[in-house]
Structure 1
Amino acid sequence: MLSEARKVLQQVYGYPEFREGQKNIITNLLDGRDTLGIMPTGGGKSICYQVPALLMEGVTLVISPLISLMKDQVDALASLGVPATFINSTLEAREVEQRLQGAMQGKYKLLYIAPERLESERFRARMHALNLPFVAIDEAHCVSQWGHDFRPSYVSIAPFIRELPNRPIVAAFTATATAEVTADIARLLELDGAGIFVNGFSRDNLELTILRGENKRDYIQNYVKEHTHQPGIIYAATRKDVEELYELLRKKGYAAGKYHAGLSDEERSYMQEAFLYDDIRVMIATNAFGMGIDKSNVRYVIHYNMPKNMEAYYQEAGRAGRDGEPSECILLFSAQDIMTQKFLIEQNQLSPERKANEYKKLQTMIDYCYSPRCLRNVILHYFDETNMKDTCGNCSSCKDDRDTVDITVEAQKIFSCIRRMQERFGISMVASVLKGSKAKKILDYRFDRLPTYGIMRDLPEKEISDLINVLISEGYLALSDGQYPVVKLMQPAADVLQGKLQVFQKVRKQQVKAAAIDNTLFEQLRLLRREIAQREKVPPYIIFSDSTLREMSEICPTTAAGMLKIKGVGEVKFRNYGLPFLELLRTYAGESEIGVAAYDFD
């Protein structure tokens, strides 16, 4: 069966071979076994269920959380010559009925629905009459209350599958899940003896950067100015920040859009479509934007504020570089971000257990922002990844050429102060005592009488707080859970106080920009793609992805056979779109005749 799957991959999608993770998942599904796939964003999970769907008799039901994702997937499949459709709240009852009838008549191979649709008894009854050999569940982490995006509607999936006359093969996919959430998904979706495939969370094409202490507005303006021709997303924690950044960039003349829950459905739809079609280059958004946005050529994602947890951060950052091309993920961190996220947690009506879990996840994110370790390794460790290199060589920590400075004495001062304060207070209180603050609370506790009072008065209080956070991220200190965490000493701190261990820190140097690359042909191919996309009324990446155009510009094929060897150029796409690109490539190479008619596709 795998040989048949490879044939479909080559003819329909234009790829010669599956990635290792895809091959294992597809083999498991074609052997008739339930499957849970944990794959990073851009890892090619759609192919994992689309290829088996094309090889199975009947209609595959795909449960997907967002309307935009359904439309994008169906448009992309249509460009490949694959019959697919969706049913969601944008359709009138007559259109829903027509599409259901079409599914009954075997007109479609894939039918996309939202999980809320399963709450309709009438719809479930219609599904009972359909030949459903396979059900694929996207964004499966939404079923777990311990995941970062719990959706109650996902709880309806398991009972629906249980009610079907013949139980289909079930596959569930997500990009980010800890071991705890993975086990929860398998249990709640009642995956029957499922094969669980964790295909690695590493995204080698992403350059991860943490910047602390930047003037955020100035940084955004400068970055967008230097990357005006590249699509990017800027995530902000609040609607207010989104609106302010949007106005700032629009006034500067940049093609910017905005997206948050406070906009009307029409405004959100317009902004999203303009971004997908490259009419706007940079989208400023809250976390309401992104899940299911299948735009492959996003070149950068900037977090204007620290996200609430690692899952949300890595999923949002992972929307850059889905085509495998080098892309930047930049997090602009400030201490105020911590207060913002704590405020948002308190605003949610959560059970005490879930609220404690949210604070625990937030602290992990804070530790990440202060960590001097390889950022990719910090993320992979969080997701229980064991197959890690010592360093990635491509994050702000690994590329940091700062001089190493011995800060053992400063660390001892901090640890001694925490011990003398009996490990009962938070970071800001400890920093205030070390600074020698005369705040009423410090005087009331008589902390001004401690030997460590004012012992670090030469440093700004913020710098002392930052240093405490670094020591927390390095495991010398720990914070208790909750809204007001208390700093605790760990064993390494005791070793430092006893002179058994030294502590080091670095001072940042200015990084040098890499030399510019000649992208002339690549940009000409992008312009041609945009013209065709406007004519066909589809997003540009549905014609060909940036990575496909990049390979075209590097190899510069001048025959139809050569074009079909480019990754992402299948037979259907070549028939539909290939000729204009081939003409451009031949013109660039200085050739004339094309001779496409002589190529046999059969």
Structure 2
Amino acid sequence: MAYNGIMQKPREILKEVFGYDDFRTGQLDIIEKVLAHKHALAIMPTGGGKSITYQLPALMFEGITLVISPLISLMKDQVDGLNAMGIDATFLNSTLPGSEQAQRMSDIRAGLYKMLYVSPERLEIPSFFGFIQQLPIELIAIDEAHVMSQWGHDFRPSYLNILPLLSQISGQPAVLGLTATATERVRQNLQQLLGVADEDTVLTGFARDNLALKIAHQVDKRQYVQDYLRANQGKSGIIYAATRKQVDELYTSLNKQGMKVGRYHAGLPEKERQVMQEAFLYDEVEVMIATNAFGMGINKPDVRFVIHYAVPGNIEAYYQEIGRAGRDGLPSEALLLYAPQDIHLQEFFVQKSEGTEAYKQNEYNKIREMNAFANTGTCLPRYLLAYFGEVVAKDCGQCSNCLDSRDIVDVTTDSQRVLANVVRMNQSFGKTMVAKVLKGSHDAAVKKYDYLTTLPTYGLMKERTIKDISRFIDYLTADGYLKIEGGEYPVLKLTAMGVRVLKGELVVEKRVNRQVIAQRQATSAATGLKMSDADNQLFAKLKAKRLELARAAGLPPFLIFSDKTLMNMAILRPKTDEEFLSISGVGEKKYAIYHEDFAGVLASE
């Protein structure tokens, strides 16, 4: 398709080629900087229309636009989309046979293409870079530019290696970096790397008003997903899992139930990944279950939901991945299924990585920031936007925290207990040890430090479980009363807000289920183990079930649950998952193994 080039106005091309009547926020500003051959940086939310900011100028320039893209598996889809609009674009990567690459290079020299997509690794090949140097390149667009920054969430050294090469391209082409995820630190780093002035950085904001953010804590994840997919049958969605094994297991489980799901991860053959991706794009499968290997560059506009089956390693990745929902502007959802073990898994990934200590420290900090987000009681979009340096005045009114109808209770006293304990422990221990001391634990880790059992805060919250105390510490950290410092072995320290709470200058409030409040009161009363006749009868049944399970497993009965745990179970008669997990002696692992058996006994009463 031929164009009048620079003589034609951007708005005319926008309507004629892309079919839009007007530009979105920031698009025209970026395009004008590119047309002026400046070095610019565009930070726009996923679905905000970043691609037009380099595709449209490519049509106005006489020369070639070089697009550097991090994933060769997605280049074909991007080029196919451009060709469908009549834009002459092509790509060169290792998926093409040698003869096809030679033909395309010949066609590029002949001026048959306006746009060329390549990977950064390909530019490092001297013979290929020699070919690039011979082309009349007017614009270099660097997609997913955050991967250039060592402070970004997906740092790739190969991107840094191309920077000296780009300066060797003649003609002083415009340079445009594009990303949806950049904190202030990453933004400054990218400006420095690309030589972009403050006035040539366009930040359009990170808000996605059509996207409702929700977080579910301590749920049966597989059952939750099954129920959600049944309730949203016919809708397109993505489920992100942390590992290939999680992807395969969930894919197999949902497939057996007849659900239209696909899977995608780096362990699958390339052909299968391609088939799955196309099946998702063409609505042959409704839901893609994937690791973070899937999604970058996916332009499917009608994804109605994104579910994180496990907590991502950082907020930037989370934000980028939820951005794949609702790109068409229609109401969509992003659901995060939170469990503490997800955080431990992400820390394990960092421990096993080959990065420098500084890199690992940065990754640990990102994991903690993600954990704080997952445990905050404030409006989720407000928290998210603040992380990226954007302040908004109002709550969103549609996230799970804004819609939380639980009672707001004063938790200042419990907060002061936790904060005082952190101080008594010289701000030198992590969350688990702080929780154990507050619980009054007698385990070896606590006894290793003789003075801990003599602290006035030792056992100050003995009626609570260690798990419950740990969650409360997460809440205090998320809302800024505590902070975490250190690398692989982090410690808790008070913030200025925490000091004010300890002095009685600030009140701390938290949303809590009324039934949980009653449960805690009952748990406190149950420490005396005063049981009615009905309680004793139920206790006997629970003991019988324990004996049955112990014989089947070849274990002593007390290794399943202690008598005290069964007595509390008989008195409190937990019904929900949260109530069951709050019983002293019921850990997550035992809950997963024995919950159904004992819940059956309780339900029979």
TM-score (norm 2): 0.81
Which residue in 2 is equivalent to 1:277? 282
Q: Which has the higher contact order (CA 8 A, sep 6+)?
A: 1
Matched, 1:504 2:503: no
Q: What aligned pairs does 1:281-430 form with structure 2 within 5 A after superposition?
A: 281-386=286-391, 388-430=392-434
Shift of 1:190: 4.1
Which whole-Å deviations, capped at 9, do the CAs of 1:477-500 have from their partners, x for residues lacking one? Answer: 111121221111223333223322
Which residue in 2 is equivalent to 1:18? 23
CA separation of 1:444/1:192 partners in 2, compared to 1, >3 Å: closer, same or farther?
A: closer
d(CA) in 2 for partners of 1:262, 1:420: 49
Gap regions ≥5 residues in structure 1 = 511-602
Q: What aligned pairs does 1:72-87 form with structure 2 within 5 A after superposition?
A: 72-87=77-92
Give 1:425's aligned amino acid: F
Which residue in 2 is equivalent to 1:57? 62
Gap regions ≥5 residues in structure 2 = 1-5, 516-605
SS in 1 for 2:262: strand
Shift of 1:91: 0.8
Shift of 1:2: 9.9
Give 2:177's aligned amino acid: A
d(CA) in 1 for partners of 2:508, 2:242: 34
Shift of 1:303: 0.7
SS in 2 for 1:133: strand
Q: Is the 8 A contact 2:396 2:402 kept in 1?
A: yes
RMSD: 1.9
Matched, 1:30 2:30: no
Give 1:75's aligned amino acid: D
Which whole-Å deviations, capped at 9, do the CAs of 1:165-213 have from their partners, x for residues lacking one? Answer: 3221111101101122122223223458871111111111111111111
Give 2:239's aligned amino acid: I
d(CA) in 1 for partners of 2:385, 2:26: 17
TM-score (norm 1): 0.81
d(CA) in 2 for partners of 1:183, 1:404: 40
Matched, 1:160 2:165: yes
Give 1:250's aligned amino acid: N
Count how many residue pairs are aligned between Structure 1 and Structure 2: 509
d(CA) in 1 for partners of 2:513, 2:110: 65
Give 1:121's aligned amino acid: P
SS in 2 for 1:94: helix
Which whole-Å deviations, capped at 9, do the CAs of 1:373-431 have from their partners, x for residues lacking one? Answer: 11111111111124x23212221122223221011111122122222222221111111
d(CA) in 2 for partners of 1:269, 1:166: 38
SS in 2 for 1:329: strand
Of structures 1 and 2, the larger Rg is shown by: 2
Counterpart of 2:438 (choices 425, 434, 437) is 434
Q: Is the 8 A contact 2:39 2:194 kept in 1?
A: no
Which residue in 2 is equivalent to 1:130? 135
Q: Is the 8 A contact 1:236 1:242 kept in 2?
A: yes
Q: What aligned pairs does 1:452-531 form with structure 2 within 5 A after superposition?
A: 452-507=457-512
Identity, % of aligned positions: 50
Which whole-Å deviations, capped at 9, do the CAs of 1:316-349 have from their partners, x for residues lacking one? Answer: 1111111211111111111111111110000100
User: Which stretch of the first structure deviates more once superposed, 281-290 or 348-357?
Assistant: 281-290
d(CA) in 2 for partners of 1:500, 1:128: 65
Which whole-Å deviations, capped at 9, do the CAs of 1:563-597 have from their partners, x for residues lacking one? Answer: xxxxxxxxxxxxxxxxxxxxxxxxxxxxxxxxxxx
SS in 1 for 2:9: helix
Q: Is the 8 A contact 2:8 2:60 kept in 1?
A: no
SS in 2 for 1:294: coil
Shift of 1:5: 0.5
CA separation of 1:3/1:167 partners in 2, compared to 1, >3 Å: closer, same or farther?
A: closer
CA separation of 1:128/1:300 partners in 2, compared to 1, >3 Å: closer, same or farther?
A: same
Q: Is the 8 A contact 1:158 1:190 kept in 2?
A: no
CA separation of 1:356/1:110 partners in 2, compared to 1, >3 Å: closer, same or farther?
A: same
Q: Is the 8 A contact 1:33 1:194 kept in 2?
A: no
d(CA) in 2 for partners of 1:243, 1:339: 21
